[in-house]
Amino acid sequence: MPPTRVTPEQYDAVLFDLDGVLTATANVHAAAWKRTFDEFLRRRARESGAGFTPFDIGSDYVRYVDGLLRQDGVRTFLASRNIELPEGEPGDSPDLDTVHGIGNRKTERFLEVLATDGVDLYEDAVAWARQVRAAGLKTAVVSASKNCAAALRAARIEDLFDLRVDGLVAARLGLAGKPAPDTFLEAAKELGVEPRRAVVVEDAISGVQAGRAGDFGLVVGVARKGNAEQLAENGADVVVTDLRELAP
């Protein structure tokens, strides 16, 4: 699948996913999910006398939580283990075994790592974001993470984006998470651009599916995990390993 150029003649905006596209926080998220789920599963196994099968970053993270809204990831992974918990409320204590409580527990783990270790950037994405802005295109970050603002601040790249539609915005507006296109469509609406004149940039299967479902002008898959074929099969128009290949 050959690269294409993203120019202001064809497009008005670029909508970036965060984790795995701009920042290398996917590994931090994966570690936070593993610690959270393993604590829960170990305690549940101890109380029930059943065996303990840990959360597997290599398979469970990609299959059940990568790219999803936090609470959707909790539900999806637990369903894979035939576990159903009460929904609870968004403000549930991290100590509660509810969908929201476990999600809030994961946030605590993630922020602990972010505060101590900071965040690494993908230099190709940052350089390309600067190029498209210089060419006159608008930019936005569209992320399922409710910690998006904290990650952008830690990475010192807030100034590269006109808009942020993250997990907090999705919750406030009642937007469905990826693979539904709602968050990307909201970003396009707030930027004042038509979806067909906007580019979606994603590294997750659920993300490219969202871009395709929203009928965006171009869906770019960033194959940072050796998943080029899967991205193309699930909706990416073009797949690259370095976003600078698409420079205006």
Residues 31-58 have pLDDT tens digits of 899 999 999 999 999 998 888 999 999 9
What is the number of structural domains in the chain? 2
pLDDT tens, residue order, the chain (248 aa) = 445 789 999 999 999 999 899 998 877 888 899 999 999 999 999 998 888 999 999 999 989 998 788 899 999 999 999 999 999 999 999 999 999 999 999 999 988 888 887 789 999 999 999 999 999 999 999 998 888 998 998 889 999 999 999 999 999 999 999 999 999 999 999 999 999 999 999 999 999 999 999 999 999 999 988 899 999 999 999 999 999 999 87
The answer for residues whose C-beta is within 8 angstroms of residue 148's C-beta and 6 or more apart is 18, 141, 164, 166, 167, 168
- Is there a domain that residue 91 lies in? yes
Asked which of 74, 89, 117 is the last residue of a domain, the reply is: 117
Asked which of 88, 117, 146 is the last residue of a domain, the reply is: 117
Contact present, 15 and 164 (Cβ < 8 Å): no
Q: Do residues 183 and 98 both lie within one domain? A: no
Q: Do residues 165 and 238 both lie within one domain? A: yes
- Is there a domain that residue 180 lies in? yes
Q: Do residues 138 and 97 both lie within one domain? A: no
Q: Do residues 21 and 113 both lie within one domain? A: no
Q: Do residues 19 and 141 both lie within one domain? A: yes
Residues catalogued as catalytic: 17, 19
Beta strands at 198-202 and 218-222: parallel, antiparallel or unpaired = parallel
Q: Do residues 36 and 19 both lie within one domain? A: no
Q: Do residues 102 and 133 both lie within one domain? A: no
Domain holding 189, by residue range, is 13-25+121-246
- Is there a domain that residue 6 lies in? no
Beta bridge partners of 15: 140, 200
- Is there a domain that residue 8 lies in? no
Taking the C-alpha atoms of residue 207 and residue 219, their distance in angstroms, rounded to an integer, is: 9
CB neighbourhood size of 51 (10 A) = 7
pLDDT attached to residue 2: 45
Residues 181-190 have pLDDT tens digits of 999 999 999 9
Asked which of 99, 117, 135 is the last residue of a domain, the reply is: 117
Q: Do residues 85 and 197 both lie within one domain? A: no
Q: Do residues 17 and 33 both lie within one domain? A: no
Q: Do residues 230 and 131 both lie within one domain? A: yes
pTM of the model: 0.78
- Is there a domain that residue 200 lies in? yes
Q: Do residues 94 and 134 both lie within one domain? A: no
- Is there a domain that residue 224 lies in? yes
Q: Do residues 106 and 182 both lie within one domain? A: no
CATH number at residue 211: 3.40.50.1000
